[in-house]
A and B are shown apart, each in its own frame.
Chain A
C-alpha cells in the first residue's frame, strides 16, 4: 500500500502539530480532548478564549485525551466531608469558597476561561484567579455542585488541580496569612515613606534656592513645622524595620549594616532638631526621609519573593491528601494521617503508594525513581513489600498497610536529611559584610580625625563637623548597591528559569568549587524518553494501526509511543486493555497487540537476535531493604535496564519492539565542559546502575568523577566528605533521593519540570529546560560581585565630595539634599545597567 502523503495540521486548541486530525467546526484538533473543550466553549460563547492567544492551551492539553479516561476516581477524596471542610476558605449552607492550585495556568486566555467558570458549570457562582500564585478561588453552592465535580471539570478542560498533604490543617492557612501580612506591611511603609519624602522635598525648595529675599522668610517657619510633622511617621513607622534589625544584631553581638544606618539616621535627626530649635537652619529632614525611602525600596526589590514557589517543602507536599481504604466491599477516602496498620488500601493507576505496605492483590509495577533515582520500574509479587513514594504504573492494586505514615521509609529518609548543620551558609563570611565593617571603621576614623583637627583649630566647630561627616557618609549607598544589585540579579535569574531562595545564599553559590549532578531526572529528561523501533519493515497501514492502538492504552509509556508515532487516525475496534500486560485492538479485521513479551505471545529465546540487548541484571533499590531487591522480574515485563520495551504483534506475529530510553538533555556537554574550564570539578552521582557509564563518560569533561548505585544517604556522605576536604559543594538533583545531599550541600539546586509540583527542600529551583544555562547563570552571579564593588566605588566618590564639605564643618543642607538622592539614584541606575550588561554578555535573557 502506497504511503498517503498527509500534511501536518496544527491543533486549534493546543497548537500541537499532528497528522491524526479530528475535524470539528472547520477546525483541526489533535485529539478528542481538545475538541471537546472547544465544543464546550463554543456552546457557551466563550470563544474569545482563542482570540486572546492562538492555541492557548499549549502543552497543558498533552494527554488531555488520556487523562480523563482513568482519573474519574482521582478526586474521590473531595467527597469526604472531613477533608473538604479543611480545604474550604469559607463555608455555609448556601455558599462555599474553595481555593484550587492550578499549576497549568500560564496566559491571559487562562484567566478568561477560568473566570468564566460560572457559565460553564452550574452551581458555580463566581471564580477569581490569582495569576501569580496560580490559585483559583471558586464560590459555589454546595446544593448544586461539589468540589469533586469542580475539580473533575477543571481537569477536563486541562487544569488539573494539585492537592497535597500540606494543604490540610490550619497551619497552612495561617502561614499564608502571615506572608501576605508581611508583604502588605512593607508596601504600607514604603508608601508612607515615599509620601513624606516627596512632600518634605517640596517644602524644602525655598531653602534650596534661597529665594529668601526676605518676603518668604515668614513662610519658612510654617514649612519647617510641616516638615517636622511629616518626619514623624517616617521615623516612627517606616523605619521600624531598621531599628529591629540593628537591635537584633546588637543582641547577638554582631555588627550588621543596619547599625551604622540607624546611627546615622538618629544623628541626622538629632542635629536637625537642634538646628531647628535654635533657628540655625532648616535641618536635614529631606535627606533623612530620602534615605529611608530608598533603602526600603531596595529591600523591597531584593526580597520580592517568588510567591508561587516554596523552598522549604517537605514530604507532606509530595503525598496526596488521602487514600482509598477498602472496607466491606467498598472504598472510602480516608485522610492519609489516619491510615492504620492493617488497613487495606486501593492504589489506582498512576497513584502514589502513601505508606509502606504489602501487595495483596493485583499486578504491581512501581516506579521508585523519585525516591531512589533508579529509573526503571520494578514489578512486585503478591505478599512483598511496597514502599511509600513509589508510583503504581499498571492499573489498580490492593495493598495492606504495614506502617502508619509517620513510620514509613520515606519519612525516615526525610527526617534524617533534616538534621543539617546550619553553619555552612549564612552571612558570616560575606564580602558585603566585610565591606560594611571596613566602611564603618573608616567612617569613625574620619569622624574622629575631623573632631581632633577642629578641636585644635576651632573647638566650636567640632560638633558640627562630626555630625556632618556622619550624615553625609551614611552607609545607605553601600546598602543600596548591595540590595539593588541582588534584586536585579535575582530577577534575571528567575527570568532564565532559576528561582533562588534569597539573596543571602548567592554568596555560597559564588564560591562553589565542586559541582555534583544527579543523573536520573537531572541530566536525563524523565518526561520525554527517546523512542526507537527495532524490528522488520512495516507498511504504512500497520503503523497507523499501531499508532492508534498505542493511544488507546492506559499505560503512559504506550501512549508516549502513540504520540511519537503520530500517525493518521484510523478507526479501531474491540479495544481491550489488559492491565499490566498490554492493549489489544482490531483495525479492518486485523488484530494488533502492544505490550510485554508474554502478552504478544513471545516465549523466551524466540527473539534471539534482539535479546542481546536485554540485560537481566538484578535490581537493587538503594536503602529500601532486602525485600525489594529480592523482587524477581517475571520475564518480559516492561522493565529492562537500558530502557523499557513495548513489543508489538500483528495477527499473532511478533513484528518488533519499541524501546524507550531516558534521553539526556540538550546542551549538557558544553555546560559541563565550561564548569571544568573554570577549574571546578564535576561529579555525577546516580542511584542508577552503571549501564550508561560509557554514554556519560562521553558527555563529561576529563577529570570528572562518576559514581553509580549510590543510595540516598551515600550521596549525602559524598557531599559531606567533599566539604570535609575544604570544597564548596553545589548539588544539582531532583528527587527525594537527592534531598539529603541537596540540604547538605552549600548550594542545593532542585531541578523541576513543572514548577508547581513537588521539589525537595533546597536553595534554588531550576526549571529542567534551563539546565544548560546553569553555568552562564553562575557566571552572572560572579559578575554581580564586581558590580557591587564598582558601585561601592561610585558611592565612595560621592562620599568623598560630601566629606570634603563635611570635614570643613560647613555642610549646606542644599548640598546634602542634592548629593543624597543623586548618589542613591545613580547607584540604582548603575547596578541596573551593569546587571543588564552582564546578562547580555553571558547570553542570558
Chain B
C-alpha cells in the first residue's frame, strides 16, 4: 500500500502548489480590484503590461 503514501504526498504537493499560487496572487494585488479584470477581458486590444503589477510596484520596470 506504499503507493497510497506516494499518492498522498503527490496530492498534498499539488494542493500546496495551489496554495502558493493563491498566496502569490493575493500578494500581487489580484484581489484588490475584482471588477476591472472582468472588464479588461472584453477589450480587444492587448493591455500594455501587467496592470496588477503596476498598481503595486513603486519602482518602474
Q: Which residues of A pack against B, CB within 8 Å?
A: 48, 52, 89-90, 92, 95, 97, 107-108, 111-112, 115-116, 118, 126, 128-133, 137, 139, 180, 184, 187-188, 191-192, 195, 198-199, 202-203, 215-216, 218-219, 222-223, 226
Contact = CB atoms under 8 A, between A and B. Distances in A.
Interface string B21-57: 0110011000111111011101111011101001100
A219 B5 contact: yes
Interface residues of B, number: 36
A218 B5 CA distance: 11
A111 to B, nearest CB: 4
A116 B44 CA distance: 12
B55 A218 contact: no
Given A90-B60, A133-B32, A219-B5, 8 more contacts: A108-B38, A112-B42, A115-B43, A129-B51, A137-B55, A139-B60, A184-B27, A191-B26
B45 A116 contact: yes
A128 B26 contact: no
Contacts of B44: 48
A108 B8 contact: no
A92 B60 CA distance: 10
A222 B8 contact: yes
Contact of B59 (A90, A129, A219): A90
Given A89-B58, A137-B55, A222-B5, A195 B43 contact: no
Contact of A126 (B5, B22, B40, B49): B49
B19 interface: yes
A112 B51 CA distance: 13
Contact of B55 (A92, A128, A198, A219): A128
A130 B39 contact: no
A384 B11 CA distance: 79
A107 B38 CA distance: 11
20 contacts: A95-B60, A108-B42, A112-B39, A116-B45, A118-B48, A130-B33, A131-B36, A132-B33, A132-B34, A139-B54, A184-B26, A184-B27, A187-B31, A188-B23, A191-B19, A191-B26, A195-B15, A199-B12, A199-B15, A226-B12
Given A184-B27, A219-B4, A115 B40 contact: yes
Contact of B32 (A97, A116, A180, A216): A180
A128 B1 contact: no
Top 8 nearest A-B pairs (CB, nearest first) are: A108-B39, A131-B36, A131-B35, A128-B51, A111-B39, A195-B19, A130-B33, A187-B26
Given A48-B44, A184-B26, A184-B27, A131 B19 contact: no
B24 to A, nearest CB: 11
A191 B23 contact: yes
Contacts of B51: 115, 128-129
Dominant secondary structure of chain A at its interface with chain B:
helix
A1 B34 CA distance: 58
Interface of B: 1, 4-5, 8, 11-12, 15-16, 18-19, 22-23, 26-27, 31-36, 38-40, 42-45, 47-49, 51, 54-55, 58-60
Contacts of A215: 1
A355 B27 CA distance: 43
A120 to B, nearest CB: 13
A57 to B, nearest CB: 16
A218 B2 CA distance: 10
A128 B60 contact: no
B34 to A, nearest CB: 7
A108 B47 CA distance: 14
Contacts of B11: 202
A187 B32 CA distance: 11
A203 B45 CA distance: 47
A107 B40 CA distance: 11
Contacts of B58: 89-90, 97
Contacts of A132: 32-36
Nearest to B55: A128
Contact of B43 (A112, A126, A131, A222): A112
Contacts of A112: 39, 42-43
Contacts of A184: 26-27, 31
Q: Which of B11, B26, B58 has the most CB of A within 10 A?
A: B26
B26 A195 contact: no
B53 to A, nearest CB: 9
B38 to A, nearest CB: 8
Contacts of B1: 215-216, 218-219
B54 A126 contact: yes
Contacts of B31: 184, 187
Contacts of B47: 115
B54 A128 contact: yes
Nearest to A89: B58
B54 A192 contact: no
Q: Which of A192, A195, A216 has the most CB of B within 10 A?
A: A195
A505 B60 CA distance: 42
A223 B36 contact: no
Contacts of B8: 203, 222-223, 226
A89 B59 CA distance: 9
Nearest to A126: B48
A218 to B, nearest CB: 7
A116 B35 CA distance: 17
Nearest to A114: B36
Contacts of A95: 60
B33 A131 contact: yes
Contacts of B12: 199, 226
Nearest to A180: B32
Contacts of B15: 195, 198-199
B39 A131 contact: yes
A654 B29 CA distance: 63
